[in-house]
Amino acid sequence: MQLNKLKLRNFRNYEHQELNFSKRFNFIFGDNGQGKTNILEAISFITFGKSFLGSTEQDCVKFGNIEFQVDGNFENEIESSFDISLNYSSELKKKSYQLNKEKVSRFSSEVFGKFPVVFFSPHSLNITYGNPSERRRFFDILISQTSRLYLDYLKDLNRLLKQKNALLKNNLQNRNYSDSDFLNLLNSYNESLIDISAEIIFRRLAFLNEFKTYFEHNFSNLISGESLPVINYFSEMFNGIESSEINSFKREDVLLKTKKCFEEKQRDEIMRGISLIGPQRDDYIFILNKRELSDKANFEMKNFASQGEHKTFVLALKLAEYYYIKDKVSTSPVLLLDDILSELDSSRVLKIMLHLNDFGQIFLTSTERNYFDELKKLYKSNEISLYKIENGNAEPKEN
């Protein structure tokens, strides 16, 4: 998949901007605060349906205006063309999409995953530095781009959790139901939640077993065998069970553990008025096995890793995400890299640059133009484009 054109109207600091992109490498440079990241953010809105930075649509309306428009033209490997448009009105507080000039009713089923994109920015470091919700979000988006069924399970989970939490809160504060009616309703929600939760967790475990090969391979390309990365799945439902055993669980094993834990937690949930168990509370534990320190080899990332190790770990996750999606959907995702080379030593920068030549279409932002001169050595002149961003204006430059 590749993005050929992007049009912005009143988006962030862009009043009117139209860009035609290279099919291979697009290097976007300029000082901080000029609008480099805004271009990548616009792409995230028409592919993911939301900002990869977590910003709201209202945040992205240019000051003094009431709406913005983003238009993109994509092309797949067999040269089929797709036009996707997003319009957001701050007055109506509503966004609307069109795909090939036809109104999109449900973005998640009609657009999400159709234009696979992988993002990496300083914000991505929240995957390792941040709380469990950041890690769940990363893997949920990744798996959902390759499995419509998994996305449906997540939507069902969120819907049922809202209903169950409303029931628990209502019972705690108002007691609008008799004890028997309340328990019947709660058990009904839990029966559905047990099945859906077990299915989501089983699919996450199956994904990790498959993703492991992609991740270790890309990590080794960046680190040269200094460390071995490990991703373990943590759930309160598996307390006291070794990771190796959890990784081999069958669907029936997960279902039994889930059912037992829901039953054990029910009394506490009623007393506290909130759901206390389920995949919405689970976590992914990132570990570095440092081979040169065999006496105490395993280091949990969030507690012991350096900033460089965090950045390398997340970059390996993102590169593995790229290859995983590519294999699953049989098309190359667009790779969007926002300021990934800053604060890395020269050897790591060189390894990353050499590795990038293996990918399809790439967008890379930077404050340093000199990186472009190094990248030119890896690409033909007609494969790499240069854009200078200054005060909300993107100007193509000669190579």
SS3 342: coil
Percent of residues, the chain, with pLDDT higher than 70: 95
> Looking at residue 352, what is its pLDDT?
73
> Looking at residue 78, what is its pLDDT?
77
Q: What are residue 18's DSSP bridge partners?
A: 7
> Looking at residue 112, what is its pLDDT?
86
**How confident is the prediction for the chain on average, in pLDDT?**
88
> Looking at residue 105, what is its pLDDT?
86
> Looking at residue 348, what is its pLDDT?
66
Cα–Cα dist 194/265, whole Å: 12
- Indicate whether 179 and 295 sit together in one domain: yes
- Indicate whether 105 and 194 sit together in one domain: no
- Indicate whether 297 and 160 sit together in one domain: yes
- Indicate whether 40 and 185 sit together in one domain: no
Instruction: Answer positive or negative: Cα dihedral of 209, 211, 217, 222.
Output: negative
Range scoring the smallest mean pLDDT among 186-195, 262-271, 335-344, 366-375: 335-344
Does some domain include residue 327?
no
3-state helix, strand, coil in the chain (%, to 5): 50, 25, 30
**Residues in CB range of 53: below 8 A, 6 or more apart:** 37, 41, 44, 121, 123
- Indicate whether 183 and 225 sit together in one domain: yes
> Looking at residue 343, what is its pLDDT?
62
Domain residues for the domain of 247 are: 132-303
Mean pLDDT of 92-96: 91
pLDDT band at 88 (very low <50, low <70, confident <90, very high): very high
pLDDT digits (tens, 9 = 90+) for 216-275: 988 888 776 667 888 999 998 898 788 888 888 999 999 999 999 999 999 999 999 999
Does some domain include residue 78?
yes
> Looking at residue 201, what is its pLDDT?
96
> Looking at residue 46, what is its pLDDT?
93
pLDDT digits (tens, 9 = 90+) for 302-321: 877 788 788 888 988 998 99
Does some domain include residue 188?
yes
* Range picked from 333-337, 341-345, 352-356 for highest mean pLDDT: 333-337
Q: With 70 as the cut, is the pLDDT of residue 142 above it?
A: yes
Does some domain include residue 10?
yes
Mean pLDDT of 193-197: 97
- Indicate whether 101 and 137 sit together in one domain: no
Does some domain include residue 85?
yes
CB 101 within 8 A of CB 295: no
User: Residue 14 corresponds to which tokens in the numbers above?
Assistant: 């862009």
pLDDT digits (tens, 9 = 90+) for 42-70: 999 999 888 988 899 999 999 999 999 99
Q: With 90 as the cut, is the pLDDT of residue 121 above it?
A: no
Q: Give the strand pairing for 81-89 and 67-75.
A: antiparallel
> Looking at residue 377, what is its pLDDT?
80
Among 119, 80, 118, 116, residue whose Cα is nearest residue 100: 80
Query: For position 259, which CATH number holds?
Result: 1.20.1050.90
Query: For position 6, which CATH number holds?
Result: 3.40.50.300
Does some domain include residue 127?
no
pLDDT digits (tens, 9 = 90+) for 6-53: 999 999 999 999 999 999 899 999 888 889 999 999 999 999 888 988
SS3 88: strand
- Indicate whether 77 and 140 sit together in one domain: no
- pTM to 2 decimals? 0.86
- Indicate whether 24 and 82 sit together in one domain: yes
Range scoring the smallest mean pLDDT among 176-180, 282-286, 287-291: 287-291
